[in-house]
Chains A and B, each alone.
Chain A
Amino acid sequence: MEHAWDFSAVFTNSYLLLIGLKNTIILAVVCLVLGLFFGLFVGAARYSTRIVFNWPATAFVEVFRNTPVLVQIMWFFFAFPIISPFDIDAFTAATLGLTLNTIAFSSEIYRAGIQSIHRGQWEAAKALGMNYTNQMRRIILPQAIRRMIPAFMNRAVELVKMTSLASVIAYGELMYQAKTISTIEFNPIEMYTSVALIFFVLIFPLTLFVQRLEIKSKGRG
């Protein structure tokens, strides 16, 4: 009954865990950068009143927001290669799934942020003779992005958690490494406890930071 905790195998395999941690961070960063970048365009398309932009963007966002992200990852790993002209490894499939998912969610943040800026700002920019791109880039986005930062940080937190799903398609991130080590060393208790702690240490500072930002922005009114 009484379990004798023994973390020694966790430490002797720590270089494998470090590789996993590195892969987790790479996947998260790549998907976050791509997701936030393309999310802006999808968000702008969603905000647009023109049907050619609005409808495809809306369809894309609804599909990716209303299906489980694990289904997306598995679709890109098992189904997509059949019709894809290029080879798809686990990293590519996970990146595709997580990036498209992040684009869908972040585009909604952009859209809400842009919407929250008063119409007068658009009109004032137009009155100065700016075209749409300049209005957006110089007047609207600089004001909107400040309001969006806490929401983006929340997305980043969610994204780091979601990278653990890539273990299902055998991408060697933290969770996958832990699974592998625990079957070799027969130490699931210590291994999974350690991994949960590593994720906690990785993510908790982020959530604290978000909370602080949120309190601060509320104080500003």
Chain B
Amino acid sequence: MGYEWDFGVVLRDFDLLLWGLVNTLKVTGLSLLFGVPLGLFLALWRLYGGRLIRVPVGVLIEFLRTTPPIAQLFWFFFAMPILLGIEIDPFQASVLTFSLQSSAFFAEVFRGGIVSIDNGQWEAAKAIGMDRNASLRRIILPQAVKRMVPAFLERAIELMKTTTLVGTISYADLLYEANNIAQSTYRSLEVFSLAAGMYFVVIFACSMGVRRLERHLGRTGETTTG
């Protein structure tokens, strides 16, 4: 009955797991890099675009938010290349999917933050002669962004958790490497436990950071969650 734990064979491949973790962070980082600015634009289009822009952007955001990420990933990896007649590798498909997927959530964080700013701020900005772009850039966004920081970081952590899907299209992230090692060493209990532990260390550290920051920012205004 007693199971003999043996981390020896698994630790021999530890560098593979570490490379997997690097790849996980790479996909997460790049998706954030594209997803956050795109999210800002989506939010602005949804709030201030004409009807012809507002409605389709709203539909796009809702669609990206309500379909499972794995369905999106498969669509971009298996369907889109045929449709457009292009070639796309797992890494590109992953970054594309998670940039778009996260941008929809970031858009809602941006929107919540912008809407939460009191109307008087807009009026004050107008009164000193600013047009809408200038008031948005100089008055509204700087205040809104401060309120959004915790919600942003929470979304970023969610994003990192979601990127575990990339293994399903054979991109060598941490979970994919763990699965490979489990198959070659027959030590799936040790490998998957170790991989889960690695995810936990990274994600828990981020969560603690977010919580500290939240406390630090204090009650300067209610935060918006996506």
Contact = CB atoms under 8 A, between A and B. Distances in A.
Interface in B59-84: 62-63, 65-72, 74-75, 78-79, 82-83
B195 interface: yes
Contact of B68 (A71, A161, A207): A161
Contact of B67 (A67, A68, A189, A196): A196
A162 to B, nearest CB: 8
29 contacts: A1-B85, A3-B82, A66-B199, A66-B203, A67-B200, A67-B203, A68-B160, A68-B203, A71-B196, A72-B196, A74-B179, A78-B192, A79-B193, A82-B3, A82-B189, A161-B66, A162-B68, A165-B165, A167-B70, A178-B74, A188-B78, A188-B82, A189-B79, A189-B82, A192-B74, A192-B79, A195-B71, A196-B72, A207-B62
Contacts of A79: 182, 188-189, 191-193
* Most chain B CB atoms below 10 A, which of A175, A182, A193, A196: A196
A196 B66 CA distance: 9
Interface of A: 1, 3, 62-63, 65-72, 74-75, 78-80, 82-83, 157, 161-165, 167-168, 175, 178-179, 182, 188-189, 191-193, 195-196, 199-200, 203-204, 207
B167 to A, nearest CB: 8
Contacts of B83: 3, 189
B161 interface: yes
Given A3-B82, A68-B175, A175 B192 contact: no
A70 B196 CA distance: 10
A70 B165 contact: yes
B207 interface: yes
Interface in B120-152: none
Interface string B31-59: 00000000000000000000000000000
6 smallest CB-CB distances across A and B, nearest first, come from: A164-B68, A79-B192, A68-B161, A188-B78, A68-B164, A189-B79
A66 B71 contact: no
A191 B75 CA distance: 9
Given A71-B196, A78-B188, 19 more contacts: A67-B200, A72-B196, A74-B179, A82-B189, A161-B67, A163-B68, A165-B70, A167-B70, A168-B70, A179-B74, A188-B74, A188-B78, A189-B79, A192-B71, A192-B74, A196-B75, A199-B66, A207-B62, A207-B66
Given A164-B70, A189-B82, A70 B65 contact: no
Contacts of B175: 68, 70-71, 74
Contacts of B188: 78-79, 82
Contacts of B71: 164, 175, 192, 195-196, 199
Chain B residues touching A, range: 35 or more
Interface of B: 3, 62-63, 65-72, 74-75, 78-79, 82-83, 85, 160-162, 164-165, 168, 175, 179, 182, 188-189, 191-193, 195-196, 199-200, 203-204, 207
A83 B189 contact: yes
A21 to B, nearest CB: 13
